[in-house]
Structure 1
Amino acid sequence: MAEPGGRATKANTTLPVRGTSDYVAIRPGFGDGSVNENGEAAVDIAIVSPNGEARAGRVQVRLVRERPTWRMTTQYGAVRYETVWRDEVVETQDVQVAPGRPARFARNLGFGRYRIVATQAGGLGTASIRVRAGWVGSESAEVPDKVDVSADRRAYAAGETARIRIAPPFAGRASVAILTDRLIATRDVEVPAGGTTVDVPADPAWGPGAWIAVTVFKPGEAPDAANTGPRRALGLAWVSLDPAARTLDVAIEGDTLVRPRGRVTVPVRVANTNGAAYLTLAAVDEGILRITRFQNPDPLAHFTGRRALGTDIRDDYGRLIVPPEGEAATLRQGGDDDLDTSGVQPPQRIVALFSGVVAVGPDGRASIPLDFPEFNGEVRLMAVAWSGERVGSAARAMTVRDPIVAEALLPRFLSPGDEARLPVLLHNLDQPSGKVPPPSRSRVRWRSPTPTSSWT
């Protein structure tokens, strides 16, 4: 693609393809694909036409529990494991939907993986959504020597007890370890084939949380048994401490549309402070942020988010296990989408403003002045606040532009003595419609990158 001035530009877009049959729509009432143990997994179900209009009809809803099994396959001459999911239908129910009245399907789920499938009766529409009861560190089930370890809740207050569900691929003795950047505690438990649950008190000394590492061992069996070798399986789950006590509520207020070439005061409100509070505010061109895929600063996630596992597991039990047939796994790193932005030179002036540290008043408010230059576009306001051990952040968009925006299509290059015609695009955004008088012939002063070299 090329803009009217001839400069190359790059953009991606997604084109939806409409079908001719009705669709079944599912709206989950839970986030992140998980609910607490014995928590309610609720969904709203509707039938929608290809034009987006709600339809009446009957929908069959199935609640399916998914259990993984594995088999050995050969791919490109190497023997690998392949996960095979086995479905167990837990419940089937027919529901009636109508425009403005979607059907609601809600069930309390025990530990495990589930899938809710909705199928239009007498039609082709179908939809499904997966939900996990319990919170895990990873949903990967690519190998059979992994213990499925999950916590009953997403986060815990200091002093509460976390119920850790252990579902191993075989019965045996498990070593349960609590890990941060070091080993906190360990205990051994007997685990039957159907799994077990252990209680772990949430300790505030963990900081943001701790990893629960489970290693299940199984000794070698009798020589006439089908599987005579010892076995071992590993699993991890992150237990997070609730960050609510360390959270500041930050809100960026003020106008969403302002004019350039002047000072704009942005009010910021901070609630739930603990003594003196401070903040910083940045206003950056949204176009630049999108080029670099910049994420909004989130100090709460930085300080209280899940940590990388800072310890390693080493033992001699692995020396007793016969290595499987196949090649060793290799670390693969993905690349970008060849988004080369080294040659991107925006013709507009780039805006990047920063307030520095600003003290928040006793009423929890602060007013930050920002001096905007000649600029027409959208900026992203990003505020970061802190007060004692509490942190918070907020972000929102602000449009900066004139009522009528003039955009000159500059030539790609000029030599001394050249004359050029500059097409000008006028965007009437706020003023009443009308005619624009023809431009008069004028001379433009150009400046080269060298300050001492200019011509008229």
Structure 2
Amino acid sequence: MDIFMAKQMRVVCRLVLIQMLLLTISFPGFAEETESHFKVLEIKEQMYAGSPAVAVLLSQALDPTIRHDRHLRISDVRKMLKSVWVLSEDGHTLYYPHVKPESEYSVTVLPSLKSAQDQELGTRVSEVVKTRKMPAGVSFASNGFVLPSKLSDGLPVVTVNVEEVFIEFFRLHDQGLIDFVNWSSLSGKKSAYRLRQLGSKYGDLVYSGRFDLHAPDNRRVIRNIGVQDIDALSQPGVYVAVLRQPGQYEYQYSCAYFLVTDIGLQVRVYADEIMVIASSIKTGKPLQGVELSFVDKESRVVLKGTTDSQGLFAYTGTNIDSFRVLKVIASSQVGVLPLQTSALDLSGFDITGRDFQPREVFLYSPRDLYRPGEQMIISALFRDYDGRPLPDLPLHVSLIRPDNKELRSFSWHPRELNATGINYYQKTIHIPSTAQTGKWRVEVKGDPAASVSVGSYSFHVEEFVPERMKLQLTSPKDLLHGKGPWPIEARGTYLYGAPADNNEIETRIFVRASRHPFPDLKDFEFGLEEEKHYSDTWKKNAKHLDKQGKADLSIENHWTNLKSPMAVHATVSLLESGGRPVKRTITRTFFPANELVGIRKLFEQDTLGPGPVGFEVVNVDRQGNFIPAENLVLDIIKQDREYFWEYSEEKGWTREYTEKNSVLRSETVQFDGQKPLNYTVRLERGRYLLRVKNLSTGQMTTTRFRVGFWWGGADETDGAHPEKVMLQLDQPAYQPGDRIELTVTPPHSGQALITVESDTTLWSRRTHVSDQGTVLEIPVSADWNRHDMYISAVVFRPCNAPEKIGPNRAVGVIHLPLQRSRRKLEVNIDAPDKVSPQDTLPVHIQVKGQGQKAFVTLAAVDVGVLNITDMKTPQPYAWFFTPRRYDVLWYDMYGKIIEMMEGEAATVTFGGDKDMRPGGKRPETKVEIVSLFKGPVELSEQGEARIDLHLPYFNGRLRLMAVAFSKNDYGSAHGQVQVTAPLVTQLSTPRFLAAGDSSQLTLDIHNLSGRERMIEL
């Protein structure tokens, strides 16, 4: 009996231990501890100092003050090798360098290996590593063409297992700059045929030589060709270097373009003006007295000039489009800048808007949706670029179909009003009954022969039926979190006021990843890379509204297990009795935790060269507010891909890959909650993942990026991609006489050029700015009255040759807003909340702020029509004074500077109108559209007007839209009026029927009289 009890006790103890172990493993804290346990992540081949090496990647850093060789064993197929390992800078990787290509190595890590945290490995880890083949190859190593004078070691060449090269140098003629050079892609190879043309037509061979590269075996190294030490290359000009291996003759050869100079060039092209900025590459300071020559496509010099004391030159003329290349010379140095390549990408700045026009027309209509056969009333105000009056002129109007063909045109004259300078136009346009459906537009020109219109109004022509109902969706939850469902209240009413009782609603849910959930942190990413393309959708069972037209919806939570923010959309369709839906969507953001970590890349994707890689990291709450975090773990993960070909009957041969991830660097930091945390790490070319984890919450964000990708041996990335300069204004708007206090905060200190620009340079100043921020004063001139004015800044980073920091520039652009609030009219509409059909609707309009004679137009349109296109009330004030597009093109050569690369010098060994509805009668649908328009009506001296609208028989809601204007001032307002009969009947009929079909008609009857009524049908 005791023996049985003892056995039973042992079984129970084992079960308890198993349960405790399972509980421990499932506890989140244990997972964290396991993840940080010291272990070998991977043993594989990696490059070290340009040579293949065996790498042991570890989860924790090792102590760099001691040797770890005795804890590792390595052997090849013949013998045990001497264990001499090199520790990486971050302490996470041990390298066994100088292994041979196409060889096999056996590696063992002993359990005695200890981390810097004094954790012992504990287990023996062994792996066999097979090294790859290293084929011989040589090419130029940069996509640039500018070698900074006295700052560069030469023209870099990358070589693997090639001992020497033969290079020919050609100096290009002006015609060669135009026809031979592909300025958009300076790297790569040229065919033997094109190179024969180079020597006979586009340039002169000035030097050729054989260069010993002193390249070690099986190692990728950079060698610099010292072109600055070759006398034959000292004459100013652009050179082409053609490289080949001695004794080898191929179809194509690696080429590089270069010139040696300290002249940094930037060009800005305006509508009829061009400005050149010349600065020292070494210091960023202005260069005075630089001689400029602009060359056309025939290599003719069409313009010459000289820079002033600020390094600037400006020219105004109509022949700017003919300029192809800018050539400059100062003392014994030259510079070249092509002007027909892609301009600098400034899309990261808020510079969008419509194009500037000296004369503009504000066009508006009661609605932007019409049926074929209807009449459209369109109005216009003709003004200058600042909303000021112009002389009365006839305008030329074209009605353009969706296929971009003109249907008709006419001359448009202003209405005669009891005031001068109003320039108000009005026209009724008949839309043909056979009009094709789609997006139409009215285009207005001041001159029929002009190529650009001064105004355009787009509208839709469709076979539509107005909506009869209104659907409102509300939720008590402003955001989603946790495991519960999402409650939504749907409320449906007919536009004439009756509840949509017993009407059916259908609901469909869409869930999409939301990587940028906070508008104020739009450049920061939140969530996991593997969930960035997540999407899901499902449909709920239909249900009916209650007698009050309400329904409570409970959306099942299918997103609670996701680890990233999600945008959850609920699209609800309210069905009319005849089955036609009215759709509305409500959206909420799901947050997986109370706190989130975010990452901002301080670079553009695919423009990143090897070297420093910068990020900003934040920790925020669900409103996007910064929250301090004690333990943020930042991991840089290398993602190595091994590609292979795979065949399947469905796809045939496809290129697939396997991916291995290894942690290269890991560190724990604190976030103070005050400003984004800067994180910079130096990386070689490859694919990477940055993972940021908050140890306190377990929340993670990951982002992928690539460093230093190449094609044909040369980097195609722009190593000098412009960084951003932060510009901040001290006021929301300015007027003449004000002084702007502009705060300039660049990523690096340096010489800066600050400019105010529109279609020309209005103001400029050269000054030094600090990376801690510099405040500058800009006086606002009386003639600054355009709305395409922007303040721009370019800050030049000086060169630091010992640190191998190349020159660059940072750029900032911000709109300069003008004070125009005094020209805004305050418009108020006073009308009854409810009227009956066929009544007269009295509308009182009050306008405040008018200083001269003013007029108003009034439209009353069925809300059921406006809701289809979500049309907004016309707003002339916002239209006239909104920012215009920044229409300046930037070109510079800073993106084409040849990078400063570590490498030894190579030595020279020797070398001296048809109907759109054919085929039958169109179906006839009788639809009554309520769209009333009155005006222009002159306001009294007190700014008042009464307008009576005679309503047809109609039940629904009308939107009242008032547009007020004088010669210089503008305003608008809107309101709604419910139109309801005591008894409302609505008949729903099918949209179309075929011969022999049968159908049902649906009749809706609503008694809104407040008393019982007997109805006979």
- TM-score normalised by structure 2 residue count: 0.29
- The structural deviation recorded for 1:294 is 1.5
Secondary structure (helix, strand or coil) at the match of 1:206 reads coil
Which one of 778, 781, 789 corresponds to residue 200 of structure 1?
778
Q: Show the counterpart of 2:1010.
A: 432
Tell me the CA shift for residue 436 of structure 1: 3.6
Match of 1:376 among 937, 955, 959: 955
Q: Is the 1:381–1:398 Cα contact (8 Å) retained in structure 2?
A: yes
1:241/1:310 CA distance change after superposition, 3 Å: same
Q: Partner of 1:170 in structure 2?
A: 748
1:250 shift after superposition: 0.8
**What are the ranges of 5 or more consecutive residues in structure 2 without an aligned counterpart?**
1-464, 485-518, 522-594, 629-673, 678-696, 698-720, 901-923
1:228-286, Cα deviation, whole Å (9 max, x unpaired): x1111111111211222211111111212222223322111111111111111112222
Q: Is the 8 A contact 1:174 1:214 kept in 2?
A: yes
Q: Does 1:241 align with 2:818?
A: yes
- SS of residue paired to 1:245: helix
Q: Which amino acid aligns with 1:180?
A: S
Structure 2 partner of 1:147: 725
Q: 1:193 to 1:69 in 2, by over 3 A?
A: farther
How much has 1:147 moved relative to structure 2?
A: 1.0
CA offset digits 1:119-164 (Å, max 9, x no partner): xxxxx9xxxxxxxxxxxxxxxxxx8711111212211233222211
User: 2:984 maps to what in 1?
Assistant: 405
1:274 to 839, 848, 851: 851
Deviates more, 1:301-310 or 1:155-164: 155-164
Structure 2 equivalent of residue 288 of structure 1: 865
Give the direction of change, closer, same or farther, for the CA distance of 1:165–1:396 in structure 2 (3 Å limit): same
Q: Is the 8 A contact 2:618 2:676 kept in 1?
A: no
Give me the whole-angstrom Cα distance separating, in 2, the residues matched to 1:72 and 1:196: 26
The aligned residue for residue 85 of structure 1 is: 616
Identify the residue that residue 842 of structure 2 maps to in structure 1: 265
Cα distance 1:280–1:250, how it changes in 2: closer, same or farther (>3 A)?
same
**Letter in structure 2 aligned against 1:185:** W
Q: Cα–Cα, structure 1 residues 289 and 411, in superposed 2: closer, same or farther, change >3 Å? A: closer
Q: CA deviation at 1:208?
A: 5.2
What SS does the aligned partner of 2:853 have? Answer: coil
Against the structure 1 CA distance between its residues 179 and 367, is the aligned structure 2 distance closer, same or farther, given a 3 Å change threshold? same
Secondary structure at the counterpart of residue 296 of structure 1: coil
Look up the SS of the partner of 2:865 in the other structure.
Answer: helix
Q: Is the 8 A contact 1:68 1:85 kept in 2?
A: yes
> Of the two structures, which has the highest relative contact order with CA contacts closer than 8 Å and spacing of 6 or more?
1
Change (3 A) 1:265 1:71: closer
**CA pair 312-245 structure 1, distance change in 2 beyond 3 A:** same
Partner in structure 1 of residue 941 of structure 2: 362
Match among 989, 1002, 1005 for residue 423 of structure 1: 1002
Report the Cα distance in structure 1 between the residues aligned to 2:771 and 2:857, rounded to whole angstroms.
Answer: 54
User: Hey, what does 2:929 align to over in structure 1?
Assistant: 350
1:58-93 Cα distance to aligned partner (Å, 9 max, x none): xxxx9xxx9966368779x999x9973334999999
Instruction: Tell me if the contact between 2:750 and 2:770 (Cα under 8 Å) persists in the aligned partners.
Output: yes
Taking the aligned partners of 1:14 and 1:78, their CA distance within structure 2 comes to 50
Q: CA deviation at 1:373?
A: 1.8
Contact 2:825 2:850 in 1 (8 A): yes
Cα distance in 1, alignment partners of residues 845 and 776 from structure 2? 45
Q: Cα distance, 1:179 vs. partner?
A: 1.3
Aligned residue type for 2:730: D
Distance 2:948 2:466 in 1: 36
What RMSD in Å do the two structures reach over aligned CA positions? 4.6
Distance verdict in 2 for CA 1:415–1:211, change over 3 Å: closer
In structure 1, distance between residues paired with 2:824 and 2:748: 42
Alpha-carbon separation, structure 1, partners of 2:675 and 2:780:
22
1:387 and 2:966 are equivalent in the alignment: yes
Given the superposition, is the C-alpha separation of residues 201 and 287 from structure 1 closer, same or farther in structure 2, using an over 3 Å criterion? farther
Amino acid at match of 1:216: V
Q: Is 2:796 the partner of 1:217? A: yes
Q: Which has the larger radius of gyration?
A: 2
Q: Secondary structure at the match of 1:240?
A: coil
Aligned residues of 2:746 and 2:773 also touching (Cα < 8 A): yes
CA offset at residue 219 of structure 1? 2.8
- State the 1:193 CA deviation: 1.8
Q: In structure 2, do the counterparts of structure 1 residues 213 and 258 end up closer, same or farther at CA, with 3 Å as the change threshold?
A: same
What are structure 1's unaligned runs of at least 5 residues?
A: 1-6, 23-31, 35-61, 94-110, 115-123, 125-142, 324-344, 440-456
| Counterpart amino acid of residue 247 in structure 1 | K
Q: Give the whole-Å Cα distance in 2 for the aligned partners of 1:112 and 1:92.
A: 10
Structure 1 residue 8 displacement after superposition = 13
Equivalent residue, structure 1, for 2:338: none
Q: Aligned runs of 1:151-162 on 2, under 5 Å? A: 151-162=729-740
> Is the Cα–Cα contact under 8 Å of residues 177 and 186 in structure 1 kept in the other structure?
yes
Q: How has the CA–CA distance of structure 1 residues 84 and 434 changed in structure 2, closer, same or farther, with 3 Å as cutoff?
A: farther
Deviations 1:375-420 (A, max 9, x none): 2222221111112311111112222222321111224456899998
Measured in 2, the distance between the counterparts of 1:218 and 1:418 equals 78
CA contact (8 A) 1:385 1:391 kept: yes
3-state secondary structure, aligned to 2:736: coil
Change (3 A) 1:113 1:390: farther
For 2:602, give the aligned amino acid: W
Aligned partner of 1:363: which letter? Q
Q: CA deviation at 1:190?
A: 0.6
SS at match of 1:388: coil
Counterparts of 2:752 and 2:926, CA distance in 1: 63
User: Aligned AA for 2:1012?
Assistant: G
CA contact (8 A) 2:742 2:778 kept: yes
Query: CA separation in 1, counterparts of 2:950 and 2:929?
Result: 13
Name the SS for the 2:935 alignment partner. Answer: coil
Aligned twin of 1:70: 602
Q: Which stretch shifts more, 294-303 or 418-427?
A: 418-427
Distance, in Å, in 2 between the alignment partners of 1:161 and 1:155 is 11
Q: Which residue of 1 aligns with 2:296?
A: none
- Equivalence map 1:183-198=2 (5 Å): 183-198=761-776
Q: In 2, Cα distance between the equivalents of 1:311 and 1:271?
A: 39
CA distance in 1, matches of 2:676, 2:852: 45
Deviations 1:333-365 (A, max 9, x none): xxxxxxxxxxxx997521222213111111210
Percent identity, please.
29
Amino acid at match of 2:882: G
TM-score by length of 1: 0.60
Does the C-alpha gap of structure 1 residues 313 and 370 become closer, same or farther in structure 2, counting only changes over 3 Å?
Answer: same
Structure 1 residues 381 and 204 mapped into 2: Cα distance closer, same or farther (>3 Å)?
farther
Q: Is the 8 A contact 1:168 1:233 kept in 2?
A: yes
Match of 1:140 in 2: none
Is contact 1:348–1:375 with CA below 8 Å preserved after alignment?
no
User: Structure 2 vs 1, CA of residues 241 and 346 (structure 1 numbering), >3 Å: closer, same or farther?
Assistant: farther
- Post-superposition shift, 1:432? 1.6
2:887 corresponds to which residue? 310
Find the aligned partners of 1:69 and 1:320 in 2 and give their Cα distance. Answer: 23
